[in-house]
Amino acid sequence: MPALYLVVVSALVAIIAYRTYGAFLAAKVVTLDDLRRTPAHTRRDGRDYVPTNRFVLFGHHFAAIAGAGPLIGPVLAAQFGYLPGFLWLLVGSVLAGGTHDLVILTASVRSGGRSLANIAREQVSPLTGSATAIAIVFVMTVALAAMALVVVNSLRDSAWGVFSILCTLPIAFGMGLWTYRVRPGAVKSATVAGVILLLVAVGAGAWIQNSPLRALFVHPDRTIALAIMVYGFVASVLPVWLLLCPRDYLSSFMKIGAVLLLAAGVILVNPRLQMPALTPYIHGGGPVFPGTLFPFVFITIACGAISGFHSLIASGTTPKMIDRERDILPISYGAMVLEGFVGVIALVAACALHPADYFAINSPPAVFASLGLAVQNLHALEARVGESLAGRPGGAVSLAVGMAQIFSGLPLMKGLMSFWYHFAIMFEAMFVLTLIDTGTRVTRYMLQEVGGMALPRLREWRGLAPAVLFSALAVIAWGYFVWTGTVSTIWPMLGVANQLLAAFALAIATSVLINTGKARYAWTTLVPLAFMCVNTLTAGWMNIGVNYLRPQLRDGAGSLWQAFLAAPDPARIQCVVTLVIMAMLVVVVLDSLIRWGRQMRRGAAGSGSTVEAAAAPLSI
């Protein structure tokens, strides 16, 4: 099947959905109103609360939410064929992810930039607020560690990537100083200069890769990991306008530009999708991961369709920088449907590979040998990129090969396969790194809130000191897993935890709508909430036997409990944490149902539009 069909359909769906369903959500469900002053103005402090140009903020928000998920998830899900992932990316981003992001961002903006946990505490109950806060801290710690490891693996032995990404730091500093201190508001001139310098840095990185200076930018895993930790800390402490926002804005040009170039490449080259629509592995037992199509495709593809991590950005840094409410629609819903399109492009790049080559790259050699498949073009691809590709699971390498194969098929690009492969590796690292700075800042906020449960005065502590303290704690938390590498043992749990968090956010979003007199539109969040609860709770339970305790069950353990007792500590931690988060979601949903029923009865009796006085500050 020609890949062009998928790209055109996904682009049309994204545009039509934004202009119709997104406009409906903005006008009817949350009723965006520019007459309301945003917390960027009412709480302006020059550090976290800063009114920001909507194009700059879109770049920051998109860069923050679009981490490894929309790239790696679809590549791994290609194991099932191209059709399941394609349909989930389209439907999920339009009806679930876009709604999730828009309602949570609006709720946070209208509650003074409060976090998801605080909104839950006000709109549902202290119990739900506490459960949400604990879940967020855990999910953020694991997510940041996992994403940092992706960056470490991408930049290892890549002088091009290290040099280019290092160059983005002084460029971002210059853009921030120019637009906020030297010539306030001069976004256009800063953008032109920043993009030109970024292109120069990328081009120079290609030269560095094969120059005598290469040794200066090739470092072992530990050195790169330490540098990422230092960067996450510094970006979390400095004012958002000085480093985080301009660097994310700058990176968004690379992200969007590379995606558009890849889309153009698909249109011009129009490669055939060599992966079938459905593979035999929809019933389970696949070489990439062992789960069945349902429910594992919905947790493997997260960020491109719906992601709980988005709710943290939408209630973390972004609401504190919204200049006016009408900016919420393009920044939240617009970024989500664009991310769905990115996911489709990544899926196309992976499915353009021959299935045997795809499985040879994404499976351990012993597993691939058991499949009885013969590689088709893998040896030729290895010769063209100049690296060994077989047995490099995780999705990043196969995505880079797929991208390079499409790019090298463009006019005048033949013979540049190695260039485009290393460019794709650098692009993936830059794509993910923007999650580290924003995620560390959001974790800093959440740690302060969780600490405030024990010491209420911590919630009102402002200034540089709390920023340094809680940023350091956040970096130590996720940095420990990066440094020891133990996060790789709980990677299968990350997809479940992330989607469970999305269910938390949808339950809270439903409470917001009901509490503020919008119960007739609660179906917009209830339908995806019901699906996410059924799908993700099922996946969480199945993960215990399919992934965490699989070796013990395969070796003859008679039950899950016996397998649990025989499992090593990392597997036990996976099981316990997954079950705890699942239990917290059940508590939150049951607590929310009780509150919704109470509100409905009060509404029928004409007693007002809010559940409790605590919910009054928020108005939708």
Q: Which residues contact 477 (CB under 8 A, 6 or more apart)?
A: 141, 443
**Degrees to nearest 5, angle at CA 377 with 371 and 378:** 65
Do the domain assignments include residue 166?
Answer: no
Q: In terms of residue numbers, what domain contains 364?
A: 4-156+220-276+287-500
* Residue appearing with tokens 């946070």: 108
User: Model confidence over 307-329: pLDDT tens digits?
Assistant: 998 998 899 889 999 999 999 99
Do the domain assignments include residue 80?
Answer: yes
Do the domain assignments include residue 554?
Answer: no
Contact call for residues 305 and 74 (beta carbons, < 8 A) = no
Contact call for residues 151 and 227 (beta carbons, < 8 A) = no
Q: Give the phi and the psi of residue 208 in degrees, each rounded to 5.
A: -60, -35
User: Model confidence over 482-531: pLDDT tens digits?
Assistant: 887 654 456 667 788 889 999 999 999 999 999 988 999 999 999 999 99
Q: How many CB atoms lie within 10 A of CB 597?
A: 11
Confidence tier at 478 by pLDDT (50, 70, 90): confident
Residue 260 has pLDDT above 90, yes or no: no
Residue 388 has pLDDT above 50, yes or no: yes
Structure tokens at 573: 């931690």
Confidence tier at 360 by pLDDT (50, 70, 90): very high
Do the domain assignments include residue 202?
Answer: no
Residue 612 has pLDDT above 70, yes or no: no
Q: Look up the CATH number of the domain holding residue 22.
A: 1.10.4160
Residue 528 to residue 100: CA distance in whole angstroms = 9
**Percent of the chain at pLDDT above 90?**
35
Do the domain assignments include residue 601?
Answer: no
pLDDT at 487: 47
Confidence tier at 359 by pLDDT (50, 70, 90): very high
Alpha carbon 182 to its chain's center: 34
Do the domain assignments include residue 364?
Answer: yes
Q: Which residues contact 51 (CB under 8 A, 6 or more apart)?
A: 38, 40, 41, 44, 321, 322, 323
Q: How many CB atoms lie within 10 A of CB 606?
A: 6
pLDDT at 141: 82
Q: How many CB atoms lie within 10 A of CB 186?
A: 13
15-33 mean pLDDT: 96
Q: Which residues contact 207 (CB under 8 A, 6 or more apart)?
A: none
pLDDT at 489: 55
Structure tokens at 598: 């109470």
- Kindly report the pTM of this predicted structure: 0.84
Structure tokens at 207: 């030269």
Confidence tier at 168 by pLDDT (50, 70, 90): confident
* Residue appearing with tokens 């030269």: 207
Structure tokens at 569: 């500590």
Mean of pLDDT over the chain: 86
Give 549's DSSP letter.
Answer: T
Indicate the number of domains in the chain.
1
Contact call for residues 304 and 72 (beta carbons, < 8 A) = no
Do the domain assignments include residue 73?
Answer: yes
Residue 470 to residue 468: CA distance in whole angstroms = 6
Residue 48 has pLDDT above 90, yes or no: no
Do the domain assignments include residue 561?
Answer: no
Q: Which residues contact 127 (CB under 8 A, 6 or more apart)?
A: 587, 591
Cα-Cα-Cα-Cα torsion 281, 286, 289, 293, nearest 10 degrees, comes to 10
